[in-house]
Amino acid sequence: MSYEVYRMTNQDITKMPLKLLYITHTAYDKGWHSTKHTHHFTELFYIVKGKGVILLQNQEVPVKENDLVIINPNVEHTEKSNSLDSLEYIALGIEGLSFSLPDEEESQMGLFTYHGDQKDILFYLNKLLHEIKQNDDDYEIVCQNIIEILIIKLRRDKKFTLTKTETKNLNRSVSLIQHYLNQNYREDISLDSLAEIGHINKFYLAHTFKKDIGVSPIEYLQKVRVREAKLLLETTNYSIASIAEIVGFSSQSFFTQSFKRFTDQTPSKYRKEVKKDG
């Protein structure tokens, strides 16, 4: 007979000051990209399949299958699949913590890539997805504990320093919808479809989103589309009609109307001004 006892130490165990805002599992086609954005919380991406890049202000960071990418708060970025591969990833929004490493270039960028035990990481991420999908009693408590385990294991393997960051107490559904709009602004989107994605009453969503973000969900969507359209007007020779379609507007006239409302210029005039200044 063999009998072994392992005693726990009596050290105080404190909960991490974090809040899991959302977790999504998404697959995108070749050549897809989100619009550039920032947020006050940390975002984690686990690349399930494919290849792509994370675009920062002055740098492109390649990512591939089984990479875990950590993006700290207030770092402007966008995700992009390449022209040959689609991109499938699991994304988490975590409020309350930022990550740092001493004397590493990644620390200056606010972005980290992790190549540790992928099976272990993916196990916890799939458990999170399962809990949220099942929506069983006290699933929020289970998710909170799983994300703490995941972060502790990351800190153990790579010696991250964790720093408490500002919290804004955003509604979780609002955070999820904001993330969805940044990634999927090209799609046909309505308040009804957003409410279904967020599992929330559409009138409550409209009220809560405006309270937390400052504009309605649909106005936020239009701003994202116009911001992306400005980039296309600056960097391509696509027609106005093509750009309107690419960024998700239902018609060129609606695109022109929305663009002028946010910029005080028509798309054509904006393009002429940019080329004149260039």
Residue 106: the pLDDT is 58
- 184 against 59, higher pLDDT: 184
Residue 109: the pLDDT is 63
Whether residue 172 has pLDDT greater than 90: no
Reported as a single tens digit per residue, the pLDDT across 48-76 is 999 888 888 778 888 888 888 899 998 88
Q: Which of 8-17, 42-51, 131-140 has the lowest mean pLDDT?
A: 8-17
Please give the mean pLDDT across all residues of the chain: 87
Q: State which amino acid sits at residue 181.
A: L
Classify domain 19-164 by CATH number. 2.60.120.280
Reported as a single tens digit per residue, the pLDDT across 241-275 is 999 999 999 999 999 999 999 999 999 999 998 87
Whether residue 105 has pLDDT greater than 80: no
Residue 184: the pLDDT is 92
Closest among 217, 208, 214, 226 to 270, alpha carbons compared: 226
Residue 188: the pLDDT is 93
Q: How many CB atoms lie within 10 A of CB 262?
A: 15
- The CATH homologous superfamily to which domain 172-278 belongs is Homeodomain-like (1.10.10.60)
Q: How confident is the model at residue 161 (pLDDT cuts 50, 70, 90)?
A: confident
User: Could you check whether 19-164 and 172-278 share the same CATH topology?
Assistant: no
In percent, the amount of the chain with pLDDT more than 70 equals: 94
- 5 against 235, higher pLDDT: 235
Whether residue 10 has pLDDT greater than 70: no
In the chain, domain spans: 19-164, 172-278
* DSSP per-residue codes, the chain: ------PPP-------S-EEEEEEEEEE-TT-B---B--SSEEEEEEEEEEEEEE-SS-EEEEETT-EEEE-TT--BEEEE-SS--EEEEEEEEESEEEE-TT-HHHHHTEEEE-S-HHHHHHHHHHHHHHHHHT-TTHHHHHHHHHHHHHHHHHHHH-PEEEE-------HHHHHHHHHHHHHTTS---HHHHHHHHTS-HHHHHHHHHHHHSS-HHHHHHHHHHHHHHHHHHH----HHHHHHHTT-S-HHHHHHHHHHHHSS-HHHHHHHHHHH-
- 1 against 41, higher pLDDT: 41
pTM of the complete model: 0.81
Whether residue 39 has pLDDT greater than 80: yes
Reported as a single tens digit per residue, the pLDDT across 232-242 is 999 899 999 99
